[in-house]
Amino acid sequence: MNTEVEPGAGSPFPEVHVKQEYAEIQKWAREFATREILPVAEKIDRTDEYPLQLQKKMGEYGLLGISVPQEYGGLGLDLMGAVVVGEEIAKASLSASFLMGVQNGLAANVIAKFGTSEQKSKYLPRLAKGESIGAYGLTEPGAGSDAAAISTKATNDGQGYVINGSKMFITQGMVADVVVFFARTGAAEDGAAGITAFVVEKGTPGFRVGQKLEVMGARGTGTAELVFEDCRIPPSNVIGHPGDGFLIAMTILGESRIGAAAAAVGVAEAALEQSMAYVKKRNIFNRPLSKYEAIRFMIADMATRISAARLLTLHAATVQASGGDFMKEAAMAKYFASETAVWVCERAIQIHGGYGVSKMLPLERFLRDAKILDIVEGTSEVQRWILSRELLDR
């Protein structure tokens, strides 16, 4: 039995309905995903080992510097371009899309938008080429959805900052050369106002990787705990201004939520493509499965929800590109797309019956990956809270 459907094969969504330049970018990303990612996607999930060779190829191809300005070695695409690429990469492997999303959309994006010219020159070219691996450290053991509650402390002793604390569930943390992270420079009662953004490099005394964390989806992405024990970093490692860290974090997370929505669309579409291919060739009671109304309606519902999720995602990227406030649109796209991915993957498994719950097909991987997207970059509950605030309290 064929265990994997080539991305785009038999897809009801052959092209995104945007400018021709984005359709060309989509084709470029799809070709790479088919050639380089799809053959190793199952192995990455099964072994939970970081795919360093794939990471290098992605860097050489330009995928790790999608939005990094061209002057620093990136492709300089806008968020719409990153969304189109992200969907195609996630369709082949969510793990691979995490490599791109964390490197480009989180770590490099913070430095590109808020870093000094020296920080940009030092870090961005290597991040864009994949010569350095980046990570983004916000979540802590006691601060996930409530990011303002982080307790990692950065004490200014007049010569620099001394960092103490830990970060949890950090994608690429096991292998990161450069980590953008957030620590409290003010008092706990200052809340969001007392947080500052920093950058730290691997090998800095007092900074180390803690335990590797095995997660159910997006495996092979080096998820780990990061530990700071009297870690001293110079004032030049501050990103932006002291006290601006929470604003920086939320700005970047707003954009990355649109990226997460695109990834969810990719995972959902992969499950739909698998299902469409299966029902056309599977016979039951001497009829193709595709001839049964219950199955046909299920496929129709799956395609409709995916299309709606994609349109919400593209709309959020469009609003972001206009320079307006896009937090409401990002929250809508992220929660609807991630919940759609879970819903679609569940029905894809139902359609496949015994094959669906086996590891002969990638559907159970798709479902595990989809559920990860329902949590990361802010849970669906957090997105609904953001939406209710934007709709009712403004």
**How far is residue 67's CA from residue 113's CA, in Å, rounded to a whole number?**
11
Alpha helices in the chain (DSSP H): 20-32, 38-47, 52-61, 79-92, 94-100, 109-114, 117-129, 245-281, 293-322, 327-352, 363-373, 380-392
- Report the relative pairing of strands 134-137 and 178-184 from DSSP bridges: parallel
3-state secondary structure of 203: coil
CA 270 from centre of chain: 17
Per CATH, the number for 135-245 is 2.40.110.10
Residue identified by tokens 């969510």 is 94
Mean pLDDT of 284-301: 94
Judge whether 171 and 260 are in contact, CB under 8 Å.
Answer: no
What are the extents of the domains in the chain? Answer: 20-133, 135-245, 247-392
Tokens of 325: 């406030």
Res. 145 pLDDT band, cuts 50 70 90: confident
Place 43 in a pLDDT band, splitting at 50, 70 and 90: very high
Per-residue pLDDT at 71 exceeds 80: yes
Please write the tens of the pLDDT for every residue from 239-270: 999 999 999 999 999 999 999 999 999 999 99
Q: Give the C-alpha separation, 132 to 103, whole Å.
A: 9
DSSP label at 159? Answer: S
Query: Which CATH architecture is the domain 20-133 placed in?
Result: Orthogonal Bundle (1.10)
How far apart are alpha carbons 86 and 63 in whole angstroms? Answer: 9
CA atoms within 13 A on the CB side of 112: 28
Are 20-133 and 247-392 in the same CATH fold?
Answer: no
Out of 21, 377, 381, 390, pick the active-site residue: 377
pLDDT at 205 over 70: yes
DSSP 143: B
pLDDT, residue 394, reads 75
Higher-pLDDT residue of 213, 187 = 213
Reported as a single tens digit per residue, the pLDDT across 80-94 is 999 999 999 999 999
Give catalytic status of residue 88 as yes or no: no
Q: Per-residue pLDDT averaged across 27-33, rounded?
A: 96
Q: Is the pLDDT of residue 3 over 60?
A: no
Least confident among 5-14, 236-245, 327-336, 384-393: 5-14
CATH 1.20.140.10, applies to 247-392:
yes
Say if residue 115's pLDDT is above 50.
Answer: yes
382 near 145, Cβ under 8 Å?
yes
* pLDDT for 2: 42
Report the mean per-residue pLDDT for the chain.
93
Mean pLDDT (whole number) for 353-380:
94
What per-residue confidence (pLDDT) applies to 10? 59
- pTM score of the predicted model: 0.93
pLDDT at 18 over 60: no
In the structure, what pLDDT confidence band is assigned to residue 191 with cuts at 50, 70 and 90?
confident
pLDDT digits (tens, 9 = 90+) for 48-62: 999 999 999 999 999
